[in-house]
Structure 1
Amino acid sequence: MLFSSVIFLFYFLPLVLGLYYILRFSVTAKNMLLLVASLFFYAWGEPWFVLIMLASICFNYIFALLVDKFRERRNAAYTIITLMLIVNLGMLFVFKYMAFALRIVNENTGFGLNIPNIALPLGISFFTFHGISYVIDVYRGHGAVQKNLFYVALYISFFPQLVAGPILRYNIIADQIVNRKESWDKFALGCCRFIVGLGKKVLLSNSMAIVADHIFSMGGTSDIPASLAWLGAIAYTLQIYFDFSGYSDMAIGLALMFGFKFEENFRYPYISRSITEFWRRWHISLGTWFKEYVYFPLGGSRVTNKDKMICNLLIIWGLTGVWHGAEWTFVVWGLINFAFIALEKISNFDKGTRFNPLRHLYAMFIVVIGWVIFRSPDLLQAGNYLGNMFGLYGNGFWSDTTWMFLKEYALFFILGILFCMPIATRMNKLMVDGARFSKPLELVYPITIIVLFLVCVSYLVKSTYNPFIYFNF
């Protein structure tokens, strides 16, 4: 079930909210309702795979109890942590990476092993990482072990973050599960945040997806002009940002409606002036997870030997690439990010303040090239598409198709580029701090939100094209 679907907006969400506030007198009743709703939300699209998630919840519940009991016995605790990682990552490997691994074996050995067609459970990477962080946080003492199985299940399966994040660390959410307060301010802010995310997803991301999908379907061959290839790359750059940041906004807004506060997951990454800064602003919860549970335990950047630091970065970015998908394109994409971040750290490029416009152009150039590789189904098509972008096949620069897409989608490109910048944040600040404009803006803002919601609904009703990129992860 998509947040940006009629059934969610007009059936599931109103029903759950109504029941939730009827049960407001009891935290236990509210949590049980949210758990049932979350399991139903997941089972709606994947009725059998809900069993996989329930198994993950039960395993991690038991591992957390054991690691809490044997925390003072280091060898026993390490054994439990190791078994927990084997179970969680083993399950993730079977569903997400086994076919890829068998294909590599066949290509390099000629064994001809049978490659099973295993469907990928929605959100398996996210609920697996939630389970791992829960057990490790209990071991570290970053939150008391939860002896109520149903509350552990709610932490891992809570529907706003279930299939696309943000990735919530247990120590951030543990107290909110049993001790949170709803308020009208939270609810109103959550509704506005949700509708803004809905607008990003339905109006901007979906519109850019039409352009990107059409051009990328041609760009795997060496026969499209450079302007069209660049237009497709820019369209996908906007699509993936508004797709994922919009979904994160909707998740944060939904959580606020139920009294929870999630951390931010995006901070205008396309204004970055280095690749390092970009990754401090993009998918913040994933970057934080890898730092907390992989990078810092390896020693991070605070090591005396720079070779060790580079090795740590290589491990992190190799894992980040693989996390996003079982294909060589994701591995190469991760390694490209590693290479530029390593160079920036060695040269202290990220700390520089001169030539900011050029630094921004450099960062966005690398990001766009990376997204082309990320979007391509394999390295051959990625190479062909990049060749088209740089005119390596003699296909010229301009085409009538480029002009057609620019005319048809000019408004969406302009709005997409504008809203990659912190315009909305500055408007909110103006409304709060600017006495001269606060009253007019207070009247205009709710009207704008209502109109935005109605426009989004009209788009959803008349269109069946509603892709979501991060369901693949």
Structure 2
Amino acid sequence: MLFNSLNFAFFLPIIFCLYWLINKNGLKIQNILLLAASYYFYSCWDYRFLFLLIFSTLLDYFTGLKMEDAKSLKLKRFLFWLSVTVNLGFLGVFKYYNFFAESLISSFSHFGITLHASAINVILPVGISFYTFHGLSYVIDIYKGRIKPERNFVDYSLFVSFFPLLVAGPIERATHLLPQIKQKRVFDYSKAIDGCRQILWGLFKKVIIADNCAEYANMVFNHSSNYTGSTLALGALMFTFQIYGDFSGYSDIAIGTAKLFGIDLLRNFAFPYFSRDMAEFWRRWHISLSSWFKDYLYIPLGGSKGNLWMRIRNTFIIFIVSGFWHGANWTFIIWGFLNALFIIPSIVMKTNRNNLEIVAQGRLLPSFKELMQMVSTFSLTVIAWIFFRSASIGQAFQIIGDLFNRSLFTAPHNPPRPVMLLILVVFMAVEWIGREGRYAIENVGLRWPPILRWSFYSIIIVFIGMYMQTGGSDFIYFQF
């Protein structure tokens, strides 16, 4: 069931109404309803995936309890590594088996050795990377003594399976979400309205920005050898907006939906395309994943406490692992490597913590220096996205090679429709104006007369209705 589908448009109001109608019956009943709704939501893709989700939930739930009750450190360590191994094992089989098998065969073929390995034809369970990381962080936090295990199975299951975040995040922490699940929730009208506003903006990003940019980006990347540098540049630019509109749009819908049920999820995007350097970009893009890798990989490796070589090594490790997390393809690994390479200068010069506040805070326009910093950071990001979107490393290098030649200065073939370019300009203008909020239209129109404010929302709804596909279109991050 997609957020941008008619099915979800019926599903959400029904669950919302039932949820608050049974509020007087107690928190336990509300959580059971949310858990049942979450399992139904997930089973709409393929009911067989549900068994894997429940198995993962049971594994980490009982591992947490057994580690707490373990009589010896040796037993606790065994239980911990058993859970980690099984979780990563399932992720490895479903997501990476074919990649490793094909890479091994290719490596040996260079030495004249022919290997035969059977490929497995399996469907990647939607959201497996996200709920696996939920469970891993929970088990790690218990092992490190940061939290106590949750003994209420319904509450823990809801933490793992809460439907707004289940298939594409944000990646939540038990320390943040579980206390909210266990606390009585009272309906807050202003919070619900704020949630609806964030859902609306998320749908606009997905349906209007991402899906329309996808048409042009797919045309260019699917036939990249046929186009000139200027057309390839436009294709890369359209994909840059597509992935932002798609994934940040999903996050906005997820966070807004959770607010309808009185729950706050972690922020996942903070206007990353207005960043002044790559370090700032990664503090603002997919925040829940970046912070997960920082807390559970970067810091255990030594973080920034070691010498310069250790900091550089640790940076490359987390970015390459992050790239591999996104998919079983060398293009994602190169994408991660490139981002590490782009961020290294700021680590070497110790400027990676320079830009902690949003650009031009309290001002309408940035300074010339800030503008140039944003343009250069955005350009590096676009180049990295070419590897992310390309089907192979060869195609990525072909695009970049064709991009940087004289044809870059020729007129593009089949340029995007002028109306699409105008919508992009308006979209970025709204994002810029609203960049100091948690999402772009959080504070837009709050002081306007009601008729003007609701007209603004109505225009967005009409645009979404005009462009929305009947069955909805997949979100990019479902494949991860």
TM-score (normalised: structure 2): 0.90
Q: Paired residue for 1:201?
A: 206
Is it true that 1:440 corresponds to 2:448 in the alignment?
A: yes
Q: Paired residue for 2:359?
A: none
Is it true that 1:401 corresponds to 2:408 in the alignment?
A: no
The Cα of 1:144 is off from its aligned counterpart by 2.9
Is it true that 1:468 corresponds to 2:472 in the alignment?
A: no
Which residue, 165, 168, 171 being the options, matches 1:164?
168
Q: Structure 1 368/438 Cα, relative in aligned 2: closer, same or farther at 3 Å?
A: closer
The Cα of 1:49 is off from its aligned counterpart by 1.0
Contact 2:434 2:441 (C-alpha < 8 Å) held by counterparts = no
Q: Secondary structure of 1:135's partner?
A: helix
The Cα of 1:431 is off from its aligned counterpart by 9.5
Choose between structure 1 and 2: higher helix proportion.
1
Distance between the aligned counterparts of 2:430 and 2:398, measured in 1?
31
The Cα of 1:342 is off from its aligned counterpart by 2.1
1:98-157 Cα deviation digits (max 9, x unpaired)? 010000111122212111112100000000000111112223343331112222111111
Gaps of 5+ in 1: none
CA-based RMSD: 2.4
The Cα of 1:366 is off from its aligned counterpart by 1.0
1:213-263 Cα deviation digits (max 9, x unpaired)? 1111121x2x31111111111100001001111110000100000010112
Is it true that 1:55 corresponds to 2:55 in the alignment?
A: yes
Matched letter for residue 97 of structure 1: Y
Q: Structure 1 171/414 Cα, relative in aligned 2: closer, same or farther at 3 Å?
A: same
Is it true that 1:456 corresponds to 2:467 in the alignment?
A: no
Q: Paired residue for 1:36?
A: 36
Q: Secondary structure of 2:23's partner?
A: coil
1:399-419 Cα deviation digits (max 9, x unpaired)? 46344x243522233234324
Is it true that 1:280 corresponds to 2:283 in the alignment?
A: yes
Q: Secondary structure of 2:300's partner?
A: helix
Contact 1:207 1:412 (C-alpha < 8 Å) held by counterparts = no
Q: Paired residue for 1:324?
A: 326
Q: Structure 1 129/191 Cα, relative in aligned 2: closer, same or farther at 3 Å?
A: same
The Cα of 1:362 is off from its aligned counterpart by 2.0
Q: Structure 1 233/20 Cα, relative in aligned 2: closer, same or farther at 3 Å?
A: same
Contact 2:269 2:287 (C-alpha < 8 Å) held by counterparts = yes
Is it true that 1:267 corresponds to 2:270 in the alignment?
A: yes
1:409-460 Cα deviation digits (max 9, x unpaired)? 222332343244243647999997x9xx964355433332233224313322
- How many aligned positions are there? 461
The Cα of 1:314 is off from its aligned counterpart by 1.8
Contact 1:35 1:154 (C-alpha < 8 Å) held by counterparts = yes
Matched-pair identity in %: 35
Q: Paired residue for 1:366?
A: 380
Matched letter for residue 174 of structure 2: Y
Distance between the aligned counterparts of 2:439 and 2:388, measured in 1?
34
Contact 1:180 1:259 (C-alpha < 8 Å) held by counterparts = no
TM-score (normalised: structure 1): 0.92
Contact 1:430 1:438 (C-alpha < 8 Å) held by counterparts = no
Contact 1:265 1:282 (C-alpha < 8 Å) held by counterparts = yes
Distance between the aligned counterparts of 1:280 and 1:446, measured in 2?
34
Q: Paired residue for 1:292?
A: 295
Distance between the aligned counterparts of 2:453 and 2:63, measured in 1?
48
Q: Structure 1 428/2 Cα, relative in aligned 2: closer, same or farther at 3 Å?
A: closer
The Cα of 1:297 is off from its aligned counterpart by 1.5
* 1:160-309 alignment, distance < 5 Å: 160-181=164-185, 182-219=187-224, 221=225, 223-303=226-306, 305-309=307-311
Q: Secondary structure of 1:322's partner?
A: helix
Matched letter for residue 448 of structure 2: P
Matched letter for residue 459 of structure 1: Y
Gaps of 5+ in 2: 109-113, 356-367
Is it true that 1:17 corresponds to 2:25 in the alignment?
A: no
Q: Structure 1 439/317 Cα, relative in aligned 2: closer, same or farther at 3 Å?
A: closer
Distance between the aligned counterparts of 1:356 and 1:452, measured in 2?
31
Distance between the aligned counterparts of 1:272 and 1:157, measured in 2?
33
The Cα of 1:464 is off from its aligned counterpart by 5.8
The Cα of 1:184 is off from its aligned counterpart by 1.3
